[in-house]
Amino acid sequence: MNIHETKHFNLRVYALIIHDGQILLSDEYVHDMKMTKFPGGGLSFGEGPVDCLKREAMEEFGQEIEIIDHFYTTHFFQQALFYKEHQLISIYYLARFPESPRFKISDKPFDFPDLINESQSFRWAAIAELSDNDLSLPVDQYVFRMLKTNTKPKY
């Protein structure tokens, strides 16, 4: 599929939650595939990106997050992984928990009993030890390189 066959947008919003040199990762089993990504999800029609991320936090963590600042929005064409006729636009925000996390945070990747679609677990990973290849999605990899090197794209 080429850029001219793309007919739809897929808007995704993600949280970059950093604490003591570690970043929160989401290990998921979706569409019969294991993936490691930043927490977040799809923007629903009628909601703004910040509202989306706050809703996703309640769905995924069962608690609120506080948005600190916008970090990055995709500035290049990226085809969506699961929907070939969709162009992916991803928005990333720096965020934090206003109170200590009350949900399970694992010590190991993919800490769920069976590979059932929509399974999810969370873990902290040391930014200094993490590689962009530890993340599954191309835009997450790009964002992690920016985060790790403290750089933003030059337009």
Query: How confident is the model over 56-114, as pLDDT tens digits?
Result: 999 999 999 999 999 999 998 877 776 677 788 899 999 999 999 999 999 999 999 87
pLDDT at 4 over 70: no
Quote the pLDDT of residue 45: 93
pTM summary value:
0.91
Phi, psi torsion values for 77, nearest 5 degrees:
-70, 130
Domains of the chain plus CATH, in order, are 3-97+114-149 (3.90.79.10)
Quote the pLDDT of residue 86: 77
Quote the pLDDT of residue 116: 79
Beta-sheet strands, E only, within the chain = 8-19, 22-30, 33-37, 40-42, 66-73, 86-96, 119-126
Quote the pLDDT of residue 30: 86
The tokens for 155 are 């337009």
The tokens for 18 are 């950093």
Q: How many CA within 13 A on the CB side of residue 13?
A: 20
